[in-house]
């Protein structure tokens, strides 16, 4: 399974740089950044969804496995959110001349970063494992409620610097042909990579817990 993912990623890298053409309305080669930056943001969101789901499952079942899975999701989500923010900021510098503009999507990713960090700080501030799991799960669910409000409502209301989303207001897919194929391939590849990473760390956490070491 992992070999497939690695080979696929290599293929996508090749496609991203060689096979797919650049898009119009972008400066030079910079449109290729979409093959890297957007999957990062997508995975950060996926991790957020995972953490919300597992937190909810924990609150329903009181099974600590879900708490561990939520924690792993948050940790990895933090990594990908950080990567998304940094790559997005580099792209912003090339396209719009400034590293940071407080555009609505930039605000959402920042909010996600803060939520992840706050979640991890909360976990470190509680000693008792069961209480820690409860409080962390509640916080994650609360954040889960607040976040879509921001991600989906505000950008629709206000003008955004970001290029139109894949499915924009007119309901059409703007990307064409090779670019679309490379983009979807890249998305799939990174999602595969995340799946590998997530399952690996979850297994690790289970073992650590069994050995009596986890925090």
Site residues, other proteins (CB under 8 A):
17, 27-30, 32-33, 36-37, 40, 59, 76, 79, 82-83, 86-87, 90-91, 93-94, 107, 110-111, 114-115, 117-118, 121-122, 125-127, 130-131, 134-135, 137-139, 141-143, 145-146, 149-150, 153-154, 157, 193, 197, 200-201, 204, 207-208, 211, 213
Question: How crowded is the C-beta side of 109, counted as CA atoms within 13 Å?
Answer: 25
Q: How far is the CB of 207 from other proteins (least distance, A)?
A: 6
Q: Which is nearer to other proteins, 4 or 207 (CB)?
A: 207
Angle at 164 between CA 163 and CA 168, to 5 degrees: 175
The DSSP output letter for 17 is I
**Minimum Å distance from CB 67 to other proteins?**
12
Q: Are 16 and 182 in contact (CB under 8 A)?
A: yes
CB nearer to other proteins: give 166 or 196. Answer: 196
User: What is the gyration radius of the CA atoms in the chain, in angstroms?
Assistant: 19
Output DSSP code: residue 16. Answer: I
Q: What are phi and psi of 20, to 5 degrees?
A: -85, 145
62 vs 42: CA distance, rounded Å: 29
Name the minimum Å distance from CB 111 to other proteins.
5
Compute the least distance from the CB of residue 173 to other proteins, in Å: 24
Nearer to other proteins, 56 or 180 (CB): 56
Phi-psi region of 25 (alpha: psi -120 to 50; beta: other; left: phi over 0): left
- Of 86 and 167, CB closest to other proteins: 86
Nearest CB to other proteins, comparing residues 14 and 173: 14
Residue 159 Cα to chain centre, angstroms? 23
Residue 172 CB, shortest distance to other proteins, in Å, is 26
């Amino acid at each position: 399974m992992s070999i497939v993912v690695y080979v696929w990623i290599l293929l996508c890298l090749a496609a991203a740089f060689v096979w797919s053409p650049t898009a119009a309305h972008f400066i030079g080669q910079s449109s290729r950044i979409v093959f890297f930056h957007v999957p990062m943001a997508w995975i950060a969101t996926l991790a957020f969804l995972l953490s919300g789901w597992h937190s909810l499952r924990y609150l329903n079942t009181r099974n600590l496995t879900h708490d561990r899975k939520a924690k792993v999701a948050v940790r990895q989500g933090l990594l990908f959110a950080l990567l998304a923010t940094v790559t997005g900021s580099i792209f912003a510098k090339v396209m719009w001349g400034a590293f940071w503009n407080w555009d609505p999507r930039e605000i959402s990713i920042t909010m996600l970063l803060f939520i992840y960090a706050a979640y991890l700080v909360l976990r470190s501030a509680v000693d008792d494992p069961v209480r820690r799991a409860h409080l962390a799960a509640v916080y994650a669910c609360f954040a889960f409620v607040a976040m879509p409000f921001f991600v989906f409502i505000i950008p629709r209301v206000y003008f955004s610097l970001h290029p139109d989303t894949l499915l924009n207001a007119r309901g059409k897919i703007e990307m064409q042909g090779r670019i679309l194929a490379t983009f979807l391939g890249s998305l799939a590849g990174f999602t595969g990579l995340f799946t590998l990473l997530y399952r690996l760390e979850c297994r690790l956490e289970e073992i650590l817990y069994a050995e009596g070491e986890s925090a």
